[in-house]
Chains A and B, each alone.
Chain A
Amino acid sequence: MAVTSSEMTASSQVMNNVEAVRATLYEAMKNDERTIILGEDVGARGNVFLITKDFIDEFGAERVIDTPIAEASIVGIAVGMAMEGLRPIAEIQFADFIYPSFNQIVGEAAKTRYRSNGEYTCPLVIRTPYGGGVRGALSHSVCVEALFYHVPGLKIVAPAFPADVKGLLNAAIDDPDPVMFLEHKKTYRLIKGEVPNGHYTIPIGKANLLKEGTQLSVVSYGLYVHWALEAAKSLEDEGMSVEVIDLRSIRPMDKSAILASVEKTRKLLIIHEDNKFGGIGAEISAMVAEEALFHLDAPIRRLCGPDVPAMGYAQPLEEAFMSSPAQMADAMREMVRF
C-alpha cells in the first residue's frame, strides 16, 4: 500500500511547459522517422528556448533543419513535406514573425484537403511561442490566434498546463490536418505540473473544466487561465463560487462545455490577452447569445487586451495591456454581484 508514491513518480514526472514541449517533440522524433523539425535556429542553436537542444546530433541535419529567416518558406516547404507523407513540425520562432507565412498557412495548408477533394491532406504542425508579459516589446509579445481562427480547415490549440501541452501536441502531430500549436512563452518556465509518461493524446476541441462554480462561468486560455484560476480561488474567501474553463483548443471550440457551464451559472466572463475587437471572446459571445440567450442573467462580459497596435516595452505600457489577477477578480466580483 505504501508504494503508491513511487508508482506516481514512475508513471509521471514534474515538468514545466518548455520541458513538456521538448519531451514530446523528442518522443515524436524517436517514434516516427517521418517526423521533421524545421525552423530558424532549431538545429545547431537548439531553438531559442533550447527546446530542440542536441536534437540535431541525435537525429541529424536532414530531420532537424535550420532554415533561413524566411517564414513563408518554412511553412511552404513543410506543406509540401506533409502532402507527400512526412510529418513536419514547423517552428515560427516567435508568433510575431508568422505574418510572411500567412498565405502558406491560410491559402495552402488549410485548403489542401478541400482543394484536392480529400486526395491530399496536410498533416502539419506549426508551433510558435506567443503572448506577452515578458517585456518582449512590440515584436516578441503578440497573440495571433484571432488572425487564424476565422479560417475553416485550421485547428488551433493553446494549452496552459504541461500535461495538456504533451497530450495536445501529440494529438496535433497525429492529426491528419494542419494544427497551429500556440505556446504561451510566459508559461514556459513559470508553469510546472505532473506529466504522465508514455504516449497519450488529449482530443483537440475539448475544453477542461478546471474549477467548478455556481455563480459565474469564466472562459479563458493560455497564461490567463492560471491567473483566472488564481482570481477565482481568491473569491472563494468572499463566498463567491466561480467556475473556470480552460478552452485548451480555440478551434474547434468546445461549444457544449461552454454552453453547459453558462446554463448552470447563467453568467459568462471571457478573459483573453489578445485584443478585444474581433477576438476569440467575440465568437464565444455570439455563440452563447445565439444558443443560450434565455439562460443569461447578466450581459456577457469580455476582459481582453486593449485595441492598441502592440504591447509596449515600457513596464507601465505592458501592465496597461495585460489584465492582472486583481483586475480579473474585480470583473468576476462585479459579475457575481450583478
Chain B
Amino acid sequence: MTTITMPQLGETVTEGTVAQWLKRVGESVEKYEPFVEVSTDKVNAEVPSPVSGVIREVLVKEGETVATGTPIAIIDDVSSGTAPIEQASPAATKAEANRMAGDEPVPGFAPVPSAPPRSNGQPAVAAPSAPLDETLRTASPAVRRLAREHNVDIRAVKGTGNAGRVTARDVTTAAAAGPAIATGPARPAPSGTSTYGEPIPGTTIPFTQARRIIAQRMVESKQTAPHAWSTVEVDVTNLWRWREREKAHFERETGYKLTLLPFFIRAVVQALQAFPLVNARFTPEGIQVLKEINIGIAIGLPANLIVPVVKGADRLTIKALGVAAGELIDKARRNKLGVDDLAGGTFTVNNTGANGSVLSAPIINGGQAAIVTMEAIVKRPVVRGDDAIAIRHMMNSCLSIDHRVLDGYSASGFLAELKRRLESMGPDGAL
C-alpha cells in the first residue's frame, strides 16, 4: 500500500488543489502514469503514480485544496505483493490522513501511521516495523534535506553509519546510483528533478517563486517603459591602478574583496546627483524625483537574478560602499537576503563585465528611470589627446532609460558625467 501525498510543485508552494482525478477508485494505474491533475497558484501538473497498482481510495475531492504533504490517495501496490490489509472505514482513514498531515513530514518518505493517537480519541494504528522507525528517528537534518532534494526514499537506502544509521553520504551515494532508489513515493516530481540550476533536456522546470517574479517584472518593465539605449567608452586605467593599490589592504581590513563595483557606485551616485532626473520614477501624477539614492546591484546566481540595494549610497565612501556591497553579495550567495535588503532601490548598476560582456541592453528594474551596466575592462590601444597611441584599460558603460522619464539629452549628460567621474578616479586617493 502506498500513500500518495500532495506534491510540492515549486519551492514556495505550500498547498495544491486536486483539479481532476484521472483515475477512479478501483481503476488500475501503471507506474509513472498520470493519475491526478493538481493545480496550484503557480502551475498545473499531472502527477504520475510512483507505483503500479490499484487506486484504493481517494482522500481529497476534486476542487479541494490541501497542504503539500497531505495524503490525497492510497494505491494498493501490486508490484510489492503486499497483502491487502483490513479495510479501514473511509471516515477513519480520512481522520488518520488528517492526523498524519499535521505531523512533521519526513521528506522522501510517505507518512507512516506510527505515532500514538492524539487525545481526541482517534483510533490507534498498527506500528510499522522497528528498524523503519529507527531509520527515521536517526535521520539527521542533513539526511532529511538531502533526501528531499534528491528525491530519495531513505527506507530503501542501506545505512553505513553507526548501528546501520543512514548517513548523509549514504543518501548522496544512493542519489548518484540512479533512479532505483531515487524515486521516493512521497514526492512524485512531475518533471523529474530538473531545476533551473541543473536543467535536464526534455523536462519542464516548474516555476520557483523567484523565477515567476523575475518573469513578471521583466515583462512589466519592457511593456510599460519604452526603453532607449546609449553607450559610452570609459578609460578606467587610473581607476584600475587605484584598486590594484588598495585591494590587499582593503581585504585585510574588511575581509571583503575590493572589486571595482564600489568605485562604479560612487561615480554613479555623483552622476545621479548632477542629473537628478535619472534618479526618478514615472507615476501617473508626474515624474517623481527621488531624494534618496539607493543603488540596486544586480547579482546573477545559478538559479536566479537578485538585486539587493545599497541604501543611502550618497552618504557612503567608496570603502563603505565596498563593505556594503560585499555584505550583500555574501548574503546573496548564502541565500540570506531579507526583504529589507531588496526593497527601496532607486537606480540599478549591473556589473555585466564580470562575465566578460562588452555591450548590453539591460531591462530597467521595474519602476526606476534607468539602469546602467559596467562592461568588461579590456586593454586596447587608444589614440590619446596628443595623437600618441597608448595601451589603456577601456570599458563600455551602457545605459537603458525609460523614455517617458528621460530624453536623450539628460541620458547623454548623465553618461558623460559618469564617464568624467570614472576617468578622474585614481591612481591615488583615499577610499
Which of B98-106, B139-147, B276-284, B345-353 lines the interface with chain A? B139-147
Contact of A338 among B145, B165, B330 (CB under 8 A): B165
> Does chain B have a CB within 8 A of A266?
yes
Among B167, B169, B253, max chain A CB count under 10 A is at B167
- Alpha-carbon separation in the docked complex, A293 to B141 (Å): 6
| Mask of A320-338 contacts with B, CB within 8 angstroms, 1/0 | 0000000000000010011
Chain A residue total in the interface (Cβ 8 A) = 15
> Smallest Cβ distance from A45 to chain B, in angstroms?
36
- Alpha-carbon separation in the docked complex, A266 to B252 (Å): 29
B161 neighbours in A (Cβ, 8 Å): 337-338
| Mask of B156-168 contacts with A, CB within 8 angstroms, 1/0 | 0000011001011
- A296-337 with Cβ < 8 A to chain B: 296-298, 334, 337
- Taking A266-B142, A337-B162, A338-B161 as contacts, is the C-beta distance between A297 and B167 under 8 angstroms? yes
- Alpha-carbon separation in the docked complex, A293 to B162 (Å): 20
Among A201, A203, A296, A298, max chain B CB count under 10 A is at A298
- Alpha-carbon separation in the docked complex, A10 to B330 (Å): 40
Are A294 and B145 neighbours in the complex by a CB distance under 8 Å? yes
Contact of B142 among A203, A206, A297, A334 (CB under 8 A): A297
> Smallest Cβ distance from B334 to chain A, in angstroms?
8
> Does chain B have a CB within 8 A of A295?
yes
> Does chain A have a CB within 8 A of B255?
yes
Are B145 and A206 neighbours in the complex by a CB distance under 8 Å? no
- B175-189 with Cβ < 8 A to chain A: none
B253 neighbours in A (Cβ, 8 Å): 203
Give B171's nearest chain A residue, CB to CB: A297
Are B255 and A205 neighbours in the complex by a CB distance under 8 Å? yes
- Taking A201-B252, A203-B252, A203-B255 as contacts, is the C-beta distance between A297 and B162 under 8 angstroms? no
B140 neighbours in A (Cβ, 8 Å): 266, 296-298
| Mask of B223-249 contacts with A, CB within 8 angstroms, 1/0 | 000000000000000000000000000
A206 neighbours in B (Cβ, 8 Å): 255
- Alpha-carbon separation in the docked complex, A338 to B141 (Å): 14
Contact of A294 among B142, B165, B167, B255 (CB under 8 A): B142
Additional 15 contacts, C-beta under 8 A, given A295-B145, A338-B167: A203-B253, A203-B255, A205-B255, A206-B255, A266-B142, A266-B169, A294-B142, A294-B144, A295-B142, A296-B141, A297-B142, A297-B168, A297-B169, A334-B162, A338-B162
In the assembled complex, 14 residue pairs joining A and B whose CB atoms fall closer than 8 Å, in A order, are A203-B252, A256-B330, A266-B140, A293-B141, A294-B142, A294-B145, A296-B140, A297-B140, A297-B142, A297-B167, A297-B168, A334-B162, A338-B165, A338-B167
Chain A positions near chain B (C-beta within 8 angstroms) = 201, 203, 205-206, 256, 266, 293-298, 334, 337-338
Chain B positions near chain A (C-beta within 8 angstroms) = 140-145, 161-162, 165, 167-169, 252-253, 255, 330
> Lowest 4 CB-CB distances: which A-B pairs, in order?
A297-B168, A297-B142, A294-B145, A297-B140
